Chain A
Amino acid sequence: MTANEALFDYALRLGDDALILSQRLGEWCGHAPAIETDLTLTNVALDLIGQAMLLLGYAGEVEGKGRDADKLAFHRDATKYRNCLLVEQPNGDFGRTIARQFIFSTYQRALYQELTRSSDRRLAEIAAKALKETIYHADLAAEWVIRLGDGTEESHERMKAGFEWYWRFVEELFTAEPADAALIGAGIAVDPAKLRAPFDAALAATFAEATLALPKYPRPITGGRKGRHSEHLGHLLAEMQFLPRAYPDAVW
């Protein structure tokens, strides 16, 4: 893999994470427990779409084959997607959705914080912009984890179950790809292993307040970064990509 291909793959991964999670959150539109929650989840989705557009747009420029953010989002098959498995999982109930959001936004906040110091100027600029949004997302998710965890018996159980379900996908977030070594060495990419400590610290603080016990890590499931996805991604893409695939010349 050339340096350029590695950078393309890296930007693609960051963009795909944001895009796929935004699509999942959009599914809550009209279905959330309260209208404020509905607005909240779709606002987070909107921020993530914006981040995906910046990151995929950059990936397309790096690749230099004339693909823009739309082309990469709508005209790529599941095996070409590089998002982590966490973000493509079905929403489940509200507790499970919040567990996923907490895990992802806490990770993404630590990631963007590091990435603002990237030697790649564009990645650093995108991270600085996105970080301000992601801090809101992480705070929001933490507040919900506390509210549900330290709420009723029912809400506590659902919050606990949500984390237990998602725990198998956590490891992947902190695993580097072989091609990353050169990017990390050059100060372009963030070494994901470095993000584990701030993630664990945020987790411990929120869980203590939420009266939740840290789940044991089960055998992790990985593969998303290599294009090996769960069956759920194909279904998600079928819905997301239908219009531009069926009517490739359609314009806004």
Chain B
Amino acid sequence: MTWRDRVMDVLSRVADPEIPVVSVVDLGIVRGVKDDPKSVVITTTYSGCPATQVITSDIRKALDDAALNDVKIEMALSPPWTTDWITEAGRKKLQAYGIAPPPKGSGAPGLKNAQPATCPRCGSIKTREVSRFGSTPCKALWQCETCREPFDRFKCH
């Protein structure tokens, strides 16, 4: 295994602190691995996301524990994170966890949350937005009209 593969392997097991079923790789916040100096490039979801510091220190610890102490962490501002970068595996994990994943290609302005979400409990598409801002910056609050359960939806961004 090259050091790059080892780094990606380690990162694929670093959980998001707020949604622990998905890894930082699933969420698309790991942008790549670079040589000279050896570093992983990460980005933030929302500029004010309070999980950013925790994510950075969790990644640092995971790298150190895997004897990858020499790999630096670099923060990238651009291009800005989009929910299109959430992996297919990540979307499935979100759905199973009870959070409706954002539809693909929904990051473009004008398409924001226009499509109804699929209820992660019963699969109904008769759902409505309760509040566009939810328990974390990345989630909106929705409700299913069929089973009546409220649920989180990953905001299209």
Contact = CB atoms under 8 A, between A and B. Distances in A.
Interface of A: 36-37, 39-40, 43-44, 46-51, 53-54, 122, 124-126, 128-130, 132-133, 135-136, 139-140
Interface in B26-70: 44, 46-50
B78 A46 contact: no
Given A125-B78, A140-B132, 5 more contacts: A36-B141, A40-B131, A133-B46, A135-B109, A136-B155
B2 interface: no
Interface string B124-144: 000000111111010001000
Contacts of A136: 112, 132-133, 155
B130 A36 contact: yes
B137 A132 contact: no
A88 B112 CA distance: 31
The 5 residue pairs across chains A and B that have the minimum distance between CB atoms: A50-B48, A50-B47, A36-B131, A43-B133, A125-B78
Contacts of A125: 77-78, 80
B47 A43 contact: no
Contact of B78 (A47, A48, A128, A135): A128
Contacts of A139: 112
Contact of B80 (A36, A49, A128): A128
Interface in B93-138: 109, 112, 130-135, 137
Nearest to A54: B47
A133 B49 CA distance: 11
B91 interface: no
B157 interface: yes
Contacts of B130: 36
Contacts of A130: 47
B46 A128 contact: no
B4 to A, nearest CB: 26
User: Which DSSP category, helix, strand, loop or mixed, fits chain B's interface?
Assistant: loop
Contacts of A46: 46, 48-50, 137
Contacts of B81: 129
B48 A53 contact: yes
Contact of A48 (B48, B82, B132): B48
20 contacts: A36-B131, A39-B135, A39-B141, A40-B133, A46-B46, A46-B49, A46-B50, A47-B46, A47-B48, A47-B137, A49-B48, A50-B44, A54-B77, A122-B77, A124-B78, A128-B80, A129-B80, A133-B46, A135-B109, A136-B132
A125 B81 CA distance: 12
Contacts of A132: 80, 82, 157
A233 to B, nearest CB: 22
Of listed B47, B79, B81, B135, residue having the most chain A CB within 10 A = B47
A135 to B, nearest CB: 6
A125 to B, nearest CB: 4
Nearest to B82: A132
A48 B48 CA distance: 7
Contacts of A39: 131, 133-135, 141
Of listed A36, A54, A129, A139, residue having the most chain B CB within 10 A = A129
Contacts of B109: 135
A135 B109 CA distance: 8
Given A39-B131, A39-B133, A140-B132, A51 B48 contact: yes
Nearest to B141: A36
A133 B47 contact: yes
Nearest to B130: A36
Given A36-B141, A54-B77, A135-B109, A129 B133 contact: no
Contacts of A48: 48
A139 B132 CA distance: 10
